[in-house]
Amino acid sequence: MQKVYLDSAATTQPRPEVIAKMQDALANFYGNPSSTHSFGRAAKTQIEKARKTIAKQLNASPSEIIFTSGGTEADNMILTSAVIDLGVKHIVTSKIEHHAVLHTVEALQVTYGIKVSYVNLDEFGSPDIEDLKSILQTTAEKTLVSLMHVNNEIGNMIDIDAFAHLCKEYQVYFHSDTVQSIGHWEWDLSKTPVDFLTAAAHKFHGPKGVGFAFIRKNIPLKPMIHGGEQERGFRAGTEPFHNIVGLETAFILAYENLEEERNYVTELKTYFMDRLQKEIPGVKFNGYSGDNSKSTYTLVNVCLPLSPEQGALLLFQLDLKGISCSKGSACQSGSDSGSHVLNEILSKDDLDKPSIRFSFSKFNTKEELDYVIACLMEYIEK
């Protein structure tokens, strides 16, 4: 049985260089970064080097990069602190955000009574910038807009520059969950006026359990985790040094190899879509995932022409064949309600059919994709 991993939107395979760097850190840089002796100073120096590396690539200031345990913590921290510290009374978001945003917004609505508005979506699931403009024109409260750059289930990309400049025009805060795009797309934060971004290392071939938040300078957020003075007093707790250097290594390699790997993965995605359309009549691509000009190159969300009964066992059958993929976000794998993203954009008939997210990386091959398509055809023809 062949083993094929096509779930990189859930988490990516760590690069060998990342693993080696982390092993070296665990073996040789085990001092507490807050300690003043040489062991501590050596670890602290490496953490600050990683912060500068990230800031330079994003064209930001090192003081604007705060290391976290990942994207979920960063999203929670920013949204909650905006309400508590900045006096935000109105959050505008969409119904297809990651649950790290949606559930946080729902909790803030219950706890603090904030107003929540949801931007209209087009038929393919992308936020309507004109509707956002209408909302901002009529709101009097201090407002924060939270819209993800790349949707983690259907791959839709927003024009983040356009949304950021609109928010700046109306003098509202703009937060974007960029977990699916940092490490895969270029950024220049001196030109894109976002106030807050979030990232997770395991989405670009780094370790799990570490990420960062970008918080624009001079925005007076206060710490959500209290204790020591780590992360400039913003996030207490001894830094996971081995994870941070792993993040830095993955980040450097992601951008050093970005063009080559993006071209390679784009070719894989295009090849996969072409073969699906040729071999499986009636296949559909959800959202804009079938259009590389409007979606990320890293994933495609496929609606297959199967009955609900066949669809119920599809992922199980693929797993038996050694193929790893998913219905959608790994964070809701235990839910019986289906994908909240697809529920917003698909017809009842298409919701009854199985939709599978296939997500790709530099470690995949066309031979693997041929195997996956052969397995799908075998199952459909049963």
Task: Please indicate whether residue 331 is annotated as part of the active site.
Answer: yes
Q: What angle do CA 289, 180, 188 make, to 5 degrees?
A: 110
| Contact residues for 334 (Cβ-Cβ < 8 A; gap 6+) | none
Q: Are 66 and 215 in contact (CB under 8 A)?
A: yes
**Count of Cβ atoms closer than 10 Å to residue 375 Cβ:** 18
Selection from 198, 208, 199 nearest residue 19 by Cα: 208
Selection from 156, 182, 169 nearest residue 60 by Cα: 182
Selection from 95, 73, 1, 8 nearest residue 358 by Cα: 8
Annotate 90-155 with DSSP letters as a single string: EEEE-TTS-HHHHHHHHHHHHHH--EEEE--B-TTS-B-HHHHHHHHHH--S-EEEE--SB-TTT-
Instruction: For residue 174, report the phi and psi dihedrals to the nearest 5 degrees.
Output: -130, 120
Q: Which of 303, 325, 331, 375 is catalytic?
A: 331
Instruction: For residue 196, report the phi and psi dihedrals to the nearest 5 degrees.
Output: -145, 135
- Write the single-letter amino acid at 287: G
DSSP code of 194? -
Burial class (CB in 10 A: 0-12, 13-18, 19+), 84: middle
Residues known to be catalytic? 331
